Amino acid sequence: MARLIVLSCGVPTPMPGRWGTAFALQVGQETLLVDCGPAATLKLYQAGLRATDVSRVFFTHLHSDHMADFPCFLMTRFDMSIGGEPPLQVYGPPPTAEFARKLMGPDEGLLWLDVVARTNHVMSIGAYHSRGGAGDRPPPEMQAHDIEPGHVAGGDGWSVSAAEVRHAQPYLTCLGFRFETDDGVIVFSGDTRPCDEVIELARGADLLVMEAVALAGRQWEGSRTAESDTAGCATVAAEAGVKRLLVNHQPPWLAEPQARSQAIKEICQIYDGPVLWGEELLEVEIGSEGA
């Protein structure tokens, strides 16, 4: 059964229990990471997973609240490895490949000095052996891919496609993802205003993870061109005919109890399916119950 774990479901503004965006999606034998916002690596461990469990990372876009923890994740995955993991696969809109290379590319990556030290110093080699590694300590392997709308990748019992959504263009290319699994379809809107592309991406999904940054009609002008409020979130879910909606990317003022209640009420006036309010470390099963 596929399982979604909300690692981070907030915005760039830090809160004690909500900050940035990151999700772990367990499907088949793989753990996939969708975005890697602040503290994502810590939340991964709090959810009972390890960085070494993750085989692939997917970025919706390269705003910092969706990728700021990626250097931490990379070094944790490498440092905790005993040499048995496959190369990490990374997917995202351009310039994801350049971003990854400048972090961990041999010789040129900002983290490569650390890699050199940990693969050569007797202290670090000893730590590697103490965890179960044997022989020389290998450097990390990573393959990063710039992707476009369409089919992106697949594995045993799952495939993923992308669509361009409307958020921070022309400065950043922004994507949403549709994961089709043996247990159901999970769609991540990414950050976006309501648009035909995200409605089609989410069509008939078992679960839509969709942002809502404000109560209906409470967005300022710039936000309306780039993000969704509760009405926009609900309209996408209703028009796409999704089975369940998980509300994501709530700012501090929408996380207050009274505002949260109002937000859910507004969503339910438009969308008549089950609504889940994103909370960090929330787990959602996709499968046997038809959702």
Residue type, 227: E
Q: How far apart are CA 28 and CA 286, in angstroms?
A: 12
End-to-end CA distance of the chain: 11
Where are the alpha helices (H) located in the chain, listed in sequence order? 40-46, 64-67, 70-79, 96-104, 112-120, 122-130, 196-201, 221-224, 230-240, 252-255, 257-268
Longest Cα–Cα distance of the chain, Å, equals: 63
Q: How far apart are CA 72 and CA 22, in angstroms?
A: 13
Domain that holds residue 153: 2-286
Task: Tokens 């089919």: give the residue.
Answer: 151
pLDDT in tens, 162-174: 999 999 999 999 9
CB 59 within 8 A of CB 41: no
Residue 48 forms part of a structural domain:
yes
Q: What is the pLDDT of residue 84?
A: 86
Q: What is the CATH number of the domain that holds 108?
A: 3.60.15.10
- List b or e across 234-245, with b for residues whose CB sees 16 or more CB atoms inside 10 angstroms: bbbbbbbebbbb
| Tens digit of each residue's pLDDT (9 = 90 or more) over 7-58 | 999 999 998 888 999 999 999 889 999 999 999 999 999 999 999 999 999 9
Burial of 66 (0-12, 13-18, 19+ CB in 10 A): buried
| Residue among 121, 154, 139, 161 at smallest CA distance from 27 | 154
Q: Is 272 part of any domain?
A: yes
Flag whether 248 is in a domain: yes
Predicted pLDDT at 110: 96
Domain count, the chain: 1
- The whole-number pLDDT of residue 290 equals 44
Query: Per the domain annotation, does 61 fall within a domain?
Result: yes
- In this structure, is residue 42 part of a structural domain? yes
β-bridge partners, 210 = 247
Q: What is the pLDDT of residue 222?
A: 86
Phi-psi group of 249: left, alpha or beta (phi > 0 → left; psi -120 to 50 → alpha; rest → beta): left
Walk along the chain (291 residues) and give the pLDDT tens digit of each residue. 899 999 999 999 998 888 999 999 999 889 999 999 999 999 999 999 999 999 999 999 999 999 999 999 999 999 999 988 999 999 999 999 999 999 999 989 999 999 999 999 999 999 999 999 999 999 999 999 999 999 999 999 999 999 999 999 999 999 999 999 999 999 999 999 999 999 999 999 999 999 999 999 898 888 999 999 999 999 999 999 999 999 999 999 998 899 999 999 999 999 999 999 999 999 999 975 544
CA–CA dist 57, 47 (Å, integer): 17
Does the residue 166 lie in any domain? yes
> Which pTM does this prediction carry?
0.96
Contact 151, 159 (CB under 8 A): yes
Which backbone phi and psi does 45 adopt, to 5 degrees? -70, -35
Question: Would you say residue 291 lies in a domain?
Answer: no
Q: Is residue 103 part of a domain?
A: yes
